[in-house]
């Protein structure tokens, strides 16, 4: 698997998003976390996410 993919994770449950982010990071992915739609849209426009 190619490393370096950037993932935008939109999840409003803080604990769940933390667990998911840790697992993604452990597998070599870069993650941005948004806790609501407005933040997700802002991050989407600021960064070029792979997924």
Residue with tokens 């992915």: 29
Give the SS3 label for residue 2. coil
* pLDDT value of position 3: 60
Residue 15 contacts residue 9 (beta carbons within 8 Å): no
CB atoms < 10 A from the CB of 9, how many?
Answer: 19
* pLDDT value of position 1: 45
- Look at the chain and count its residues: 51
pLDDT at 2 over 90: no
Q: What is the pLDDT of residues 8-19, one digit of tens each?
A: 999 999 999 999
Q: For the whole model, what pTM was predicted?
A: 0.80
Locate the domains of the chain by residue range: 6-46
* pLDDT value of position 51: 77
CA distance to 16, 20, 25, 26, per residue, from 47 (Å): 22, 19, 17, 21
Q: What is the pLDDT of residues 18-44, one digit of tens each?
A: 999 999 999 999 999 999 999 999 999
Q: Which helix (H) or strand (E) holds 9?
A: strand 6-10
């Amino acid at each position: 698997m190619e490393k370096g993919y950037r993932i935008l994770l939109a999840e409003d449950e803080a604990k769940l998003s933390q667990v998911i982010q840790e697992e993604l990071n452990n597998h070599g992915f870069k993650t941005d976390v948004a806790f609501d739609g407005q933040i997700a849209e802002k991050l989407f426009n600021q960064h070029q996410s792979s997924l």
